[in-house]
Structure 1
Amino acid sequence: MNYRLAPPLLLGLAVLSGCASKIPKEALALSQESLQVRQLETRRFATRDEAQLLSASSALLQDMGFTLEEVNAPLGILVGQKTRDARRAGQIAGAVLLALITRVPMPTDSYQIMRASLVTRPQPNGKETAVRITFQRIVYDTQERATAAEPILEPEIYQEFFAKLSKSVFLEAQQI
C-alpha cells in the first residue's frame, strides 16, 4: 500500500463526513395524532406490582382468545395472537361477479391474525405502573398473501380492555 496517499485520503473522508446534512428537530418530534394514539393505548395503575399486572393481563388476553407467544416478566412484556375469519359478504359477491365476467378467479380476504403487545413500565413517582397495549391485524387472502397490515385503533376495544384489566387487578389484589 502506498502510505503517501493515506493522509490526503483521510482528509478527503473527513471533509465529506462534514457535509452530511443534519436531521431537523421537527423530524424527531411526535405528531399530535401519535400522542393521542399513545393516550388511547396507555393507562396508569396505582400499583408498583408489575408481576400482578402481568398476571392479570395475561389471564385477560387468554380470556379474549389470544395465545401468548412471548412472556418476559423481567422486562414487563406480553405478546399474543389469535386467528379470526376475515371474509366479508360484499367482497365475496364482488369477486364472484368479476370472476363470472372475466372468467378469472379473484382472491378474497380469508383470515386475519390479530396481535396484542403489552408492556408495563414503573412510573418515576414510585406509586404507579403504566400499561400500554397495542392491537394490530394482518389480513390474508385465499392465496395466502398478506393484503393488509394495520393497527387496530377503535377506542372501544382499548376502553373495554382496560376496564376489564382494572377489575381483574382489583380482584387479584383482594385475592378473590
Structure 2
Amino acid sequence: MKKIIATALVLAAALSATACQDDSRKQVLATSASAVQLRSIQSRAFDTTDQQKTLRTVIATLQDLGFVVDNANAMLGTVSGTKLDGYALRMTISVRPRGTTQLLVRANADYNSQAVEDPLPYQRFFAALEKAMFLTAQQVD
C-alpha cells in the first residue's frame, strides 16, 4: 500500500512539474514577444552617420521637451535626462551605428523607477526628434 501511495505522489509531482514547465514556457514566450514590441516602440533608425550631430540633436530635443540633461557621453553614445513635473520621468537615449548608412536611436524611459511600456512618451520624443533631425539636416536654426 505504501508503495502505491509513493508511486502516486511521484506521478503527481511529475505531472505538476510538467504543468509548471509548460506555463513557464508560455510566460517566456509572452515576455519575449512583449520585449520585441517594446523595443520597436523605443527605437528609430535615421539616415545619417553623424553620431555627434545626432547626439547634439537628442540633447536639444530632450531640453525642448522639458528634460534636464543629467549625463551625456559622446564616447558611449548615450544621453540621460530627467523631467521633474510632479513626477520623475527619466529617459536614457543611446545612438548606435546601424549598418553603414544609418544610426539607430533607442530611448528607454522609467517613471518613478518603473520601466515605461506605454508608447506615448516614446512617440512624443521621436516625433520631436524627427522634426529636429529634419531641421538640422536642412541647417535651420
CA–CA separation in structure 2 for the residues paired with 1:56 and 1:159: 16
Partner of residue 103, structure 2: 129
Q: Percent identity?
A: 34
Deviation at 1:135, TM superposition (A): 1.2
SS of equivalent residue, structure 2 residue 48? coil
CA–CA separation in structure 1 for the residues paired with 2:41 and 2:122: 7
SS of equivalent residue, structure 1 residue 74? coil
Which amino acid is the alignment partner of residue 166 of structure 1? Answer: E
CA–CA separation in structure 2 for the residues paired with 1:160 and 1:67: 16
Which ranges of 4 or more aligned residues in structure 1 deviate by more than 6 Å?
none
Deviation at 1:32, TM superposition (A): 0.7
Which amino acid is the alignment partner of residue 79 of structure 1? Answer: S
Q: Which has the larger radius of gyration?
A: 1
SS of equivalent residue, structure 1 residue 52? helix
CA–CA separation in structure 2 for the residues paired with 1:158 and 1:45: 16
Number of equivalenced pairs? 114
CA–CA separation in structure 2 for the residues paired with 1:153 and 1:84: 19
CA–CA separation in structure 2 for the residues paired with 1:78 and 1:120: 9
Q: What TM-score, normalized by structure 1, do the two folds share?
A: 0.60
Which amino acid is the alignment partner of residue 125 of structure 2? Answer: F
- 1:41 corresponds to 2:42: yes
Deviation at 1:154, TM superposition (A): 2.1
CA RMSD of aligned residues (A): 2.0
Which amino acid is the alignment partner of residue 45 of structure 2? Answer: R
Which amino acid is the alignment partner of residue 35 of structure 2? Answer: S
CA–CA separation in structure 2 for the residues paired with 1:38 and 1:77: 17
Partner of residue 135, structure 2: 171
CA–CA separation in structure 2 for the residues paired with 1:169 and 1:83: 25
Partner of residue 55, structure 2: 54
Which amino acid is the alignment partner of residue 63 of structure 1? Answer: D
CA–CA separation in structure 2 for the residues paired with 1:137 and 1:160: 15
Partner of residue 92, structure 1: none
Alignment of 1:93-172 (within 5 A): 112-123=87-98, 125-138=99-112, 149-172=113-136
Q: What TM-score, normalized by structure 2, do the two folds share?
A: 0.74
Deviation at 1:157, TM superposition (A): 2.0
CA–CA separation in structure 2 for the residues paired with 1:156 and 1:114: 13
SS of equivalent residue, structure 2 residue 127? helix
SS of equivalent residue, structure 1 residue 75? coil
